[in-house]
Amino acid sequence: MIYQINTLACYVCMGNGPDHKDSLAAGYAMLFMLCIIMPVLCAIFFFIIRIARRSAAALPPELQDHPPVS
């Protein structure tokens, strides 16, 4: 079989236009994935910061890298 180059591209790049139902579905799928991934990544980031702060607070003052803040 012979494929044309534009048939191997995504729906947005195939030239159907931005109002085509397939390109709209692809856009909504990307938006949905971003709406799922971003909160998960932010939760992981803040959880790591929380663990780092709690572990630094539990250290005795003589083992800390910086002097304690009063």
What pLDDT, on the 0 to 100 scale, is given for residue 27?
80
Q: What is the pLDDT of residues 17-68, one digit of tens each?
A: 666 677 778 788 888 999 999 999 999 999 999 998 888 777 777 776 766 5
Query: Are the C-beta atoms of residues 24 and 30 closer than 8 Å to each other?
Result: no
Q: Give me 34's structure tokens.
A: 């971003």
2, pLDDT greater than 60? no
The span from the CA of 63 to the CA of 51, in Å, is: 17
Cα distances (angstroms) measured from residue 5 to each of 12, 16, 27, 37, 49: 14, 14, 21, 31, 47
